[in-house]
Amino acid sequence: MTGTNSRQSPAAEASPAEPPRVSAVVLAYRAEPWFEKSVHALLGSHDVKVDVVVVDNGCTDGAVDRLRDVAGVLVVGDGENLGFSAGCNLGASVATGQYLALVNGDLVVDPDALRHLVDVAREPDVGIAAGSVRLGDDPDRLNTAGNEIHFLGFSWVGGFGELASERAVARDVAGAMGALLVLRRSVWNGLDGFAPEYFAFHEDAELSWRCWQGGLRVQYVPDAIGLHRYEFARVSNKLYLAERNRLIFVLTCWEARTLCVLAPAFLGVELAVIAASVSGGWFRAKLQGWRWLWTHRRWLQQRRGVVQAHRTVSDRRLAHLMTDHLDARNYPLPPVLRPFDELLAWYWRVARRFLAP
């Protein structure tokens, strides 16, 4: 459907004879050479009925205008950069499919990818189906096979650079990468989407973790393949957002007892991050993150209340999903910090015994 067509209200679940209906939300930001290819690949998906919601989040190369009259595409947004979180929320707010797909504008799906994701996401105990995101310049290797979540809130792409053939089995994972995932729209609505305050980065970890806290699994689907034009440092303020959002994540998602048990480890890591930010020249960004947390402390308290009120599964039962080592292959830990990492892993093994039952 085009941006000028009227959109029908969400219907009931399709009958078994009908293909599942998927609304894919894709954000258009600046000049992305793969963007139009990404949208057309979604429209060409097999065995699902797809419409694409394009969110104009600051497109600068005319791609949004070229797609505006393409059948199956609805354009929303006025060109303001809302961030990934609020942009996805906007796109999801007009979606009509039974299933919601979040797909990066720099990622191209295989024709069968959405169907494989839907086949998993339709299971009642699954919250999110996570795709096999491959490196665009080396399709046999992984960008992620599900994201890792550290017990101190760090999150990174799991299996980065590994051969995809080595991660060819479906499995539960701590987190899904927001570049390629599918969930039932009822699950998205139940979680109320992303918190727009995250803006970008870590919102996919939070969405995934809230699924787990609500008793819903996050599963990696190896046959659901997407090629990603991945660049770690494409966003200039990534370190500021990643660090600030990590702290938002743990302060709102971890149980109070967990925060108390982990307080010494958090303090040690904060000191280490300060040292890294000073040596790396981004200490001002770290300070800016703390300032944001302080000025938004009432929102943090309110957000924590919402997240904790909806959880049904304790941190103790979810502890097995958290990794105890900082082993992000796309951002390797300096060798000098490896003994510190081992100390943190030991601390976590002990601390798990004291989490609330």
Shared domain for 34 and 173, answered yes or no, is yes
Q: What does pTM read for this prediction?
A: 0.93
The CATH number of the domain holding residue 131 is 3.90.550.10
Q: Does some domain include residue 32?
A: yes
DSSP secondary structure string, 269-333? HHHHHHHHHHHHT-HHHHHHHHHHHHHTHHHHHHHHHHHHHH--S-HHHHGGGSBSS---TTSPP
User: Residue 213 CB: number of other CB atoms within 10 A?
Assistant: 22
Q: What's the length of the chain?
A: 357
Q: How far apart are CA 227 and CA 8, in angstroms?
A: 32
Shared domain for 170 and 257, answered yes or no, is no
Q: Does some domain include residue 1?
A: no
Shared domain for 150 and 178, answered yes or no, is yes
pLDDT in tens, the chain (357 residues): 333 333 334 444 455 579 999 999 999 999 999 999 999 999 999 999 999 999 999 999 999 999 999 999 999 999 999 999 999 999 999 999 999 999 999 999 999 999 999 999 999 999 999 999 999 999 999 999 999 999 999 999 999 999 999 999 999 999 999 999 999 999 999 999 999 999 999 999 999 999 999 999 999 999 999 999 998 766 778 999 999 999 999 999 999 999 999 999 999 999 999 999 999 999 999 999 999 999 999 999 999 999 999 999 999 999 999 999 999 988 888 888 899 999 999 999 999 999 998
Q: How far apart are CA 285 and CA 63, in angstroms?
A: 33
Q: Domain ends where: 196, 228, 260?
A: 228
Radius of gyration of the chain (CA): 20
Domain count, the chain: 2
Shared domain for 223 and 246, answered yes or no, is no
Q: Domain ends where: 184, 205, 228?
A: 228
Q: Pairing relation of β-strands 126-135 and 21-30?
A: unpaired
Shared domain for 210 and 98, answered yes or no, is yes
Q: Does some domain include residue 233?
A: no
Shared domain for 176 and 258, answered yes or no, is no
**Domain containing residue 25:** 21-228
* Nearest one of 187, 49, 188, 50 to 124, comparing CA atoms: 187
User: Residue 37 CB: number of other CB atoms within 10 A?
Assistant: 16
Q: Does some domain include residue 3?
A: no
Q: Does some domain include residue 50?
A: yes
Shared domain for 213 and 248, answered yes or no, is no
Shared domain for 212 and 80, answered yes or no, is yes
Shared domain for 212 and 325, answered yes or no, is no
The H or E element spanning position 130 is strand 126-135
Shared domain for 215 and 306, answered yes or no, is no
Shared domain for 185 and 247, answered yes or no, is no
Q: Domain ends where: 228, 250, 277?
A: 228
Q: Does some domain include residue 272?
A: yes
Shared domain for 248 and 200, answered yes or no, is no
